[in-house]
Copies of this chain bind each other. A is one copy, B any other.
């Protein structure tokens, strides 16, 4: 087992009716910026619940933070906060709004050009000067409500870049599973696949000594397989909704990554597909992941076999189980409404592989993955296989 540090000070407030606890979580007299996305919070009643529970607070609202939040949009919020001397940010939304708020939180007091937070991948350690923030989660998927990472897109250059650090844990996150009842099916499907792939990135590496971590990772996968197909059909079912929401948080709150290797190459490549074609994040993962496992089969097959045995109860030789495990994964993604070919998700995509390799080269990236053996040649092979 690798050495690790586990530190996660976010207070997670999970369950029905928890939005009314907001006044116990935000300092009295705080001047709040309420950040949200496309406006679904007006339709599902979350906006009303939040405003009602925060009666008496001074609140300025900023809507329109887009999926894969843009640096350019976020800088507008930074200007508002600086001007209005706001001391607390409340993100009401999914991973994009929360990731966006993490950037805003870091950028407001940042000395220098905040674009460098992304370009230089600044680490905001514990104690760094940031604006405190909390979240009300409306779309389970990314785990951003209980981690300190963020991904932001620079629209001008079509770059999707990540940054983070311990100072950027939400102070609290309210996770009320009933809020998913009104989500479009597509977003629920994306949420399940996103969380599932988050686990795979931290699990499908090689066989190691993190016995407990592996089993917890498998627990999340099994739960997502159990509830995924049903929750997208019946998001009003609280049992399904609560297991979905809790699984998404646990998939990427840092826990299962402690002491074990992780891959993340599927995300690195997938980010480019979103940046290039605007494909939903989860769908890029469903396109890339299985092909990455095929191309990297030799180094991942033992772990693929463990995954096949324990998660899908497959039998056979190691090679057979490993191969079938990839097929089962694709089948699960199809069940979850994913289209796993690039051609099904984008047009004029023929130069994608060359483009991505070129971009990685320019960033100085030579290889990806838990063994740093996913060379740019392999990246090209993976992307070509995804056409």
Contacts and interface: CB of A to CB of B under 8 A. Distances in A.
Interface of A: 1-18, 177, 209-213, 215-216, 218-220, 222-223, 226-227, 238-239, 242-243, 246-247, 250, 255, 258-259
28 contacts: A1-B177, A1-B238, A1-B242, A1-B243, A1-B246, A3-B15, A5-B11, A5-B13, A7-B10, A7-B12, A8-B8, A8-B9, A14-B259, A15-B259, A209-B238, A209-B239, A209-B242, A211-B223, A211-B226, A211-B243, A212-B223, A212-B246, A212-B250, A215-B222, A218-B219, A242-B259, A246-B259, A255-B255
Contact of A211 (B4, B7, B227): B227
Contacts of A1: 15, 177, 238-239, 242-243, 246
A131 to B, nearest CB: 20
A14 B9 contact: no
A8 B18 CA distance: 19
A213 B255 CA distance: 14
A64 to B, nearest CB: 31
A218 B222 CA distance: 13
A137 to B, nearest CB: 13
Nearest to A2: B15
A64 B1 CA distance: 33
A38 B10 CA distance: 36
Contacts of A223: 211-212, 215
Contacts of A13: 5
Nearest to A1: B242
B4 A15 contact: yes
A374 B12 CA distance: 32
A238 B43 CA distance: 54
Contact of A18 (B3, B10, B15): B3
Pick from A5, A9, A211 the residue with the most CB of B within 10 Å: A211
A9 B9 contact: yes
Given A4-B12, A212-B223, 19 more contacts: A1-B15, A1-B238, A1-B242, A1-B243, A3-B14, A3-B17, A3-B18, A4-B14, A4-B15, A6-B14, A7-B9, A7-B10, A8-B9, A9-B9, A209-B242, A209-B243, A211-B223, A215-B219, A215-B223
